[in-house]
Each structure stands twice: as C-alpha cells, then as structure tokens.
Amino acid sequence: MDLKSFRLRKTTDFTIGILGGGQLAKMTAVEARKLGLNVVCLDPHEEAPASMVSHQLVGSVNDKKKLLKLNELSDIITYEIEHINTEILKEVIPQDKIYPSIEVLETLQNKFNQRKFFQKFGIPMPSFKEIDSLDSLKDCIPCVQKAKVGGYDGRGVVVIKTEDDLKKAIKEPSYVEELVEIEKELAVIVVRNIDGNVKVYPVVEMVFNPDGNLLDYLIAPANVDDFTTKEVQRIAVSAVEALNGVGVFGVELFLDKKGRVLLNEIAPRTHNSGHYTIEACETSQFEQLVRVLTNLPLGSTYQYLPAATLNLLGEVGYKGKPVYENLDKVLSIEGVYVHIYGKKETFPLRKMGHITIIDSNKDRLLEKVVKVKNLIKVKGEVKI
C-alpha cells in the first residue's frame, strides 16, 4: 500500500487494522465508522474496549500467527501501544503498510535511544546520561531516573532527590536526566501525513496525579504566552519531522522556571493529552489519524471553546466490576461530556474513562473541573 498514490475509494471495502484494542483504538474506530470504514483490532482480551465498535481478533500483538491474520484482514495498519516486538513486525507486516513506521516505533520505544536521536537534531531537552550501577546513580543526585524501555503512565520514572530515595530506584536498564525545575508540564498533538503536510493543535497544560504520576486533568489551551506557545509547537513539529513521522504524535514538554521549553518524550500514537479535541476542536485527533491512514486531507485543528479533560481513575481501595458514582449528577452539568471506556474491571488508578468539559469562560471552566472531580468516583465491587 503506497499512501502517496492511494486515495480512499470504496470505504466499505477498506479495513484499518489496529494493534491493541484499548480506549485509543475504540475512539479511532468510532471515527473510522463515520466514514464507513471497517476496523479490526488485535488484543489479548476478548472484551477489550474497542470490541464494542470493531471486529476483534483475540491474541497477543507479538503473536506471529495473529499478526499474519491481521495483515490478511487489513488494508492499512496502525497501533495504539508502543510495547510491540518490532522484529516480529518486520517479518510479518510490509514496511509501507504500517503507520507510524516500524522505524519510528523502534526509535521511540527505547527512551534513552530516543534522547540520543533527538540530540543529533539539536532538539532542546534536559541533560541526560546512561548509568550502569547504583553507585553511578548515587553520583547523579538529584536526578530523575527513567527505565529505558517499558515505562508508561508514570511507571518506569523515579525522582531521586536524596540518598534515601535510592531504595525506590529502578532495577532494570535505565538512564538519568537532570531534575528540571518545572514551571508547567505542556503537551501538543502533531499530525503529519505521507506528503509531509503538518497540522498542530493548541498547546495544553497538564496537571498530574501525585499518587500515580499520570495525568489527572489538563487545560486547553495552556495558560502560557504567545512566545511559549509558538516555541512548544516549533519544537514538537521539528521533532516529528526529524523522525519523518507519519501519523498522530503526542508530544510532551516542560516549561522550566528559567523559561526554557524542553522536550520530554513523544508517543507515536493518539494521546491522552488530545482527548479534548473530540468535543473542543473542529477535527479530533482520532479523525486526523483516520485521515492520515486513508490519505484524505488533514482537518482543521481550530479550537471552538476552552476545554478541560479529567481522567476517570479507579479509586484506591477498590477493585472488580466498576461502579460510577454520581454519573447522573455530572451529566446534569452543561458542557460536560463523559467517555467511559468499557473496561470490565477496575483497580487503583486504572484509567477507566475521561471527561471533557467545555465553557466559554475559563474561570467557570475551572469551577466545573473542581465540581466534577469531587462528584464522580470509580469504585469497584470489592474493597481491598
């Protein structure tokens, strides 16, 4: 499949394959269905979220036989997770059939290699270096230790401020970064198609849950000046272009207390920081991905109203079948949109859904965020 020469024709005969069947695949499938496209997802869980709106192929994303079947069923393939064996992918999936490319995925999978790659292109980042022992980690205090591979949603990241913090150090291969004095954590969605056309969304400001080090809520657009906004977008686009990336990319950055904008990391997929685009923007990040995969024109990223996105996380102390408390009260508030992913089991800090809130007045928007946060709780049937 050569996307440069491809134009979507018979949509009912066209199938997008997705590696993974979680919430990102589900929201992508919803947009694909609007264009009459077929979607098939490969996921080990029969009742994964995407199974509600797509055909489900049950199996591991690293199962060669299942990948062969996905390849057979699909006209084009993408992925919603990065933890995939790229050597198996290379054996099974043609290089021009998967986007973002396997090469891009390999570059970004190893966070240390990702740092070294972007260093070659002069992308501003925190200083970093490889470590090989607890003693070498001790010499770097204060620092942030990061696992080279496998980290996500706050896992694989440890802040080391004192020697006492060494007891929580990561045991697997890792590297360290300078402990940046962060003013704000920012993110932006960048979309790039096969012809090199780029669309960039408004910059958003992220507030993280201190317990799980994963996104609690975000505000879009971020409360930063025009210079910072343009610098964030410039760095993000430069990084995606350095990768020669084709797809949708979630780019996370730091604004430090000195006013520097520094790249944190890039995800080669739709991203939590772009969920607000479903209600708040002319074209959602998920529709953009479908447009890239079918070589249709990229859509406008114009944002209609200020927005906030609040993650629905499993309450600490509960597991089992989820119970969404005060859902009715939340839905009675104007400008509130609830997305429940359909996961069959909750456990502490698991992402169970998200809520987008829009309002023309930013102060009123923040008031709604606080109200919704205090109301809705995701508990399980079993106390732990």
Helix, strand, or coil here: 234?
helix
pLDDT at 215: 67
Rounded to whole angstroms, how far apart are CA atoms 108 and 105?
5
Pair (166, 259) in one structural domain? no
Pair (361, 226) in one structural domain? yes
CATH code for the domain in which residue 163 is found: 3.30.1490.20
Pair (269, 341) in one structural domain? yes
Determine the average pLDDT of the residues in 85-107: 96
DSSP string, 93-110: S-GGGBSS-HHHHHHHHS
Q: What is the CA radius of gyration of the chain?
A: 21
pLDDT at 13: 84
Pair (253, 305) in one structural domain? yes
Confidence of residue 223 (pLDDT cuts 50, 70, 90): very high
Neighbours of 331 (CB within 10 A): 12
Pair (82, 189) in one structural domain? no
Pair (173, 188) in one structural domain? no
Pair (168, 195) in one structural domain? no
Neighbours of 269 (CB within 10 A): 26
4 is a domain residue: no
Pair (297, 227) in one structural domain? yes
pLDDT at 9: 53
pLDDT tens by residue, 205-219: 998 766 655 667 899
Helix (H) / strand (E) containing 142? none
Pair (191, 308) in one structural domain? yes
Pair (144, 198) in one structural domain? no
CATH code for the domain in which residue 46 is found: 3.40.50.20
Count of structural domains within the chain: 3
Pair (295, 236) in one structural domain? yes
Pair (202, 153) in one structural domain? no
Confidence of residue 255 (pLDDT cuts 50, 70, 90): very high
213 is a domain residue: yes
Tokens of 293: 């995969």
117 is a domain residue: no
Confidence of residue 171 (pLDDT cuts 50, 70, 90): confident
243 is a domain residue: yes
116 is a domain residue: no
115 is a domain residue: no
Residue for token pair 């520094």: 262
Instruction: Out of 178, 193, 217, pick the residue that ends a domain.
Output: 178
111 is a domain residue: no
Rounded to whole angstroms, how far apart are CA atoms 207 and 236?
19
pLDDT at 12: 63
CATH code for the domain in which residue 328 is found: 3.30.470.20
118 is a domain residue: no
Domain that holds residue 139: 127-178
